[in-house]
A = this chain, B = another copy of it.
Amino acid sequence: MQKKIKLIDVAQLAEVSKSTVSQYLNGRFDYMSEKTKERIKLAIQELDYVPNPIARSLKMNTTKTIGVIVRDITGFYTSRTIRGIDDYCKKSNYNVLVYNTDFDSEIEAKSLETLYQLRVDGIIIASSGKNTQLIDKYISNGLPIVHFQLEHDGNEKNIVVSDYRKAAFDATEYLIKLGHKRICFLTQDFQSMKSRKDRYLGYCDALEKHNIGVDKALVQYWHRESGFVQTPKNMLDALNPPTVFFTQHLPITTELLKALNNENISIPDDVSLLAFDEIPMAEYLKVPITVVTQNPYEVGKEATKLLLDNISNNDAPPQKVIIPSAFIKRQSCKDVSN
């Protein structure tokens, strides 16, 4: 490895002390003559010197690195969120370390610990909600942490999320205006997950506004491990079946699509479909699916902005940022108002 130029080389060439070069590098020209400044500048150019970030980190106790914890970087939304984080960080001269948890809250805890040990300057996390204590400990140790996407009891302080409630409201109202009254809300367990519950509340808001009661039989669940609690076919065979499925997450949507496919149930003739979350290649599907889509890139960007604010200003006020979603009308919702 070609030996790298260091501070002392610059100092020697410019015939000044290391301290002076360091002052120069850190832009503290308070008491520095123009001649010296010029000489240092030339020496740096001449030697093509760049400070060693590791030495700097050690002394400054700052790494110019943030950690990001997500469930799977491969996800359509997640990868775009990370892109937003990345772009903003690179612009601000920060580095990004990404950790995947694979939906495992123990791996999440380990990732938090590792990032803490690595002395990252801050963390952005889509948290499971199962490591609140650990997170709070780090925060009170002075490590800024910003949440995104997944909101639950206990992390509503510094967080960036989509406008789940409003988006779900708009989508539901759109369906109502098409004449739908039996809207099946397909979701994952809420538990303490506000970001899931908010969608539900938006759905209820719209029903209420149009004087349609919330029928619990129309609120159906899907689990990441075990799939649908009731099969879509069963739901449709019920006494008073839904005329539309309103799926809340991409995996639910794809599983539903698969199930309907297998049963030869066609959209939107047999049943309509509206999905929360954009579907890759949605335009080219058998029937282009109407969706509500978040803006993950923006979420990432805003989360980073928030985090960097917190890093530079230790007592920045906690903030909740809400990113608007978009509604993309395609052809999966039939007008049943006749």
Contact = CB atoms under 8 A, between A and B. Distances in A.
A64 to B, nearest CB: 9
Interface string A67-86: 00000111010011011001
A1 interface: yes
Given A58-B54, A119-B54, A285-B286, A1 B279 contact: no
Nearest to A64: B118
A328 interface: no
Interface stretch (A7-15, A93-101, A230-238, A241-249): A93-101
Number of copies of this chain that the complex holds: 2
Contacts of A119: 52-54
A31 interface: no
B118 A95 contact: yes
Contacts of A99: 90
Contact of A73 (B54, B86, B141, B143): B86
B95 A96 contact: no
A135 to B, nearest CB: 15
A261 interface: yes
Contacts of A284: 254, 257-258, 261, 285-286
A141 B2 CA distance: 5
A50 interface: yes
A142 interface: yes
B1 A141 contact: yes
B90 A80 contact: no
Interface of A: 1-2, 50, 52-55, 57-58, 63, 72-74, 76, 79-80, 82-83, 86-87, 90, 95-100, 117-119, 141-143, 254, 257-258, 261, 279-286
